[in-house]
Structures are given as structure tokens and as C-alpha cells.
Amino acid sequence: MIVLGIESTAHTFGVGIVQDKEPYILADARADYVPEKGGIHPRESSRFLASMAGKVLSEALSEANVKPSEIDAIAVALGPGLGPCLRVGATVARTLSIYLSKPLVPVNHSVAHIEIGLLLTNSRDPVVVYLAGGNTMIVAYNEGRYRVFGETLDIALGNLIDVFAREVGLGPPYVVKGVHVVDKCAEEGGKLLDIPYTVKGQDVSFSGILTAALRLYKKLIAGKADYTLNDICYTVREIAYSMVVEVAERAIAHTGKKEVLLVGGVAASKALQEKFKAMAKYYDVEVKVVPPKYAVDNGVMIAWTGLLAFKHGVTIDPVKAVVRQRWRLDEVDIPWRK
Ligand code: FE2
């Protein structure tokens, strides 16, 4: 079975082609929108994604060396994500599905981050820590769905460190040679400053950290501080990462699961991984991390999740395949894990 998957939830137009036997990945083509300055503007990103769609699609088909007629289904990430961007992928997928007379498979982008992590790390039943620019969630599979054991109440962890980096002039780019600029800057720091550590029940909140860190930065550039930018980065890193570890720790204690799987763009942080390893030792739990190439958005994860879903009869009428900007992963039935 061969499935083509389309990712276009935010800043990446990705097309992946996978099959249900090794080697699973037949093609991985992508184009990333990089804003000249500031954050992602949904409409500008969607224009970029639309302009790249044809090129990325034909790149994937030639890399996989498959004819469109050999593809069994078209999978597409219908959410969660930015409306204008999602609509680009949905339009391309609906068109392909109708034109090629192939079934269309709806995929939840967050579920796809988990499934590609499970495939590439050989994890079986982990507590999943999903950390990205738009998402911060601790989830675990239970009775047919991925259940949320904790999440952010406001901004995502990736958003916190990217916006902080931007406001203090460390980025973009936010990741240099695989290391986030805030992590890098934190290496030279060592003074823990006063910023809020906000865990409420099982949820976390990062917006207060951002406000406090920017206030500390203002004081620093006004020459009224006895600390450095490195110390602020160190504090942001220590506090924010520790909050996530605390919530994951309780999820592990509660579920009794023996693996932790880190997925999403922030999972690549070595500092974060070290914190998780220290905690995991205590619980005799194994820490697994999705390879960096597949930690970020890509079409392969959509194709792979689409393949799992399609094998269990999940399809959608192209006419009804509308995007869902706030599609939560705990609303998705996961028949392939039963
Ligand atoms: Fe993502």
C-alpha cells in the first residue's frame, strides 16, 4: 500500500510518500516559508505554500519513482493550524483525490507528530511530550484515543523561546546548527532570576514568563541590572523546561508507562533532553527523541498517519473535507492502536 500525504498547516508545504513495508519512506519533499522579519503571517505563508505546491508535489513523485496511479490514498492534514495555510493543502489534496479517483484520508497534524515519532524510535506505548511552536502537550494513549495529561493554557513553549529570542535580537534564525539560540545563550548564564514558575494542576502557562523575561531585558539595556542576557536565557530555559518535565513526571507516575517520547520542533533541545533523562532515571523510564529531520513539520508524518488510518477504513468525502483550525488530538479516534 502506498499513501501520499500533504502537510500545510503553518509554514511548510510538505509532500511525503510512504508504503506499509520497509523502507517505509519513499519520498520527503518540502518547502519552508521563512518570514523576512517577525513571526509567521498566515496569509503571506499561505501564498508561499500555494506557490510551492506544484514543485514540491512533482519532486516527491519523482523521488519515490511512483506513478500517480500506483498511489492508494491521498492523506492531508486538515488541522490544527492556520486557516489560510490549511486551505492550501486541503485544496491540493481534494483536487488530487477527485482527479485521480483515490480515497481522501483526513489526518490530525498533532497525531501525525506522535505517529512518526513512534515509527522512527520504535516506541510502543510512551508518554508523549509534544513541544512545538504552536503546541505544548503531554499526552498518552488510553482506550482508543490520545488523552491529554497536560497542556499550555496560553502560548506554546516554542512560541515563548522564539518570541523572546526575536524581542531581544537573538533571532531569527532561531535554530543555528541544530541548537536554539536561547539554549545557546543560556550556556554562558548561571544566575537564576525571578520569573514565574507557573504549573496549574497539570497545565502550564508561559505568557507570564515571556512578560517577566522581557521586563528583565528592559532593565538590562537600561543599565540597571546586575545580570546578563545569558542569565535571562538561562532562567527562561531552566524554568520553562522544568515546568514541562514536572507535568510529564506526574503523567508517568499516573499511567505507569515505561517510555517518554519527545516530539515536535523543541524536542531537539539537548538541554531539554538532559532534564528528561535525569527525571526518567528516577522512574526507570526510557527517553526517546524523534530524529530532528522529522521533529519539524513534514509530509511524511501525514502520509504515515494517513496510511495507518486508511488501513482502518478512515476516509472522508472530498466535498466534506473542510479544514479545522482548532482540531484537538483528543477528538481523534485511533483505531490502529486498539
Ligand atoms: Fe507541527
- Measured distance CA(186)–CA(232) in Å, rounded: 8
Identify whether residues 134 and 101 lie together within a single domain: no
Identify whether residues 51 and 89 lie together within a single domain: yes
| Alpha carbon of 156 to ligand 1 centroid (Å) | 12
Question: Which cell numbers in the block locate residue 298?
Answer: 513534514
What 3 state SS string does 246-297 have? HHHHHHHHHHCCCEEEEECHHHHCHHHHHHHHHHHHHHCCEEEECCHHHHCC
One-letter identity of residue 283: Y
Angle 229-255/270-283 helices, nearest 10 degrees? Answer: 30
| Alpha carbon of 219 to ligand 1 centroid (Å) | 34
Identify whether residues 102 and 128 lie together within a single domain: no
| Alpha carbon of 133 to ligand 1 centroid (Å) | 7
Identify whether residues 16 and 76 lie together within a single domain: yes
At residue 321, the 3 state secondary structure works out as coil
C-alpha neighbours within 13 Å on the C-beta side of residue 283: 24
| Alpha carbon of 331 to ligand 1 centroid (Å) | 17
| Alpha carbon of 78 to ligand 1 centroid (Å) | 12
Identify whether residues 132 and 81 lie together within a single domain: no
| Alpha carbon of 263 to ligand 1 centroid (Å) | 9
Work out how many domains the chain is built from and give that number.
Answer: 2
| Alpha carbon of 109 to ligand 1 centroid (Å) | 6
Residue 173, preceding peptide bond in cis (omega within 30° of 0): yes
| Alpha carbon of 87 to ligand 1 centroid (Å) | 16
* CATH code, 243: 3.30.420.40
CA 265 to chain centre: 5
pTM assigned to the model: 0.96
Identify whether residues 189 and 244 lie together within a single domain: yes
One-letter identity of residue 292: P
Residues, Cβ < 5 Å to ion ligand 1: 132, 297
Identify whether residues 146 and 254 lie together within a single domain: yes
Identify whether residues 240 and 316 lie together within a single domain: no
CA 284 to chain centre: 26
Identify whether residues 130 and 265 lie together within a single domain: yes
Give the residue numbers spanning the domain of 305: 2-114+294-337
Q: pLDDT tens, position by position, for the chain (338 residues)?
A: 999 999 999 999 999 999 999 999 999 999 999 887 778 899 999 999 999 999 999 999 999 999 999 999 999 999 999 999 999 999 999 999 999 999 999 999 999 999 999 999 999 999 999 999 889 999 999 999 999 999 999 999 999 999 999 999 998 889 999 899 999 999 999 999 999 999 999 999 999 999 999 999 999 999 999 999 999 999 999 999 999 999 999 999 999 999 999 999 999 999 999 999 999 999 999 999 999 999 999 999 999 999 999 999 999 999 999 999 999 999 999 999 98
Identify whether residues 235 and 207 lie together within a single domain: yes
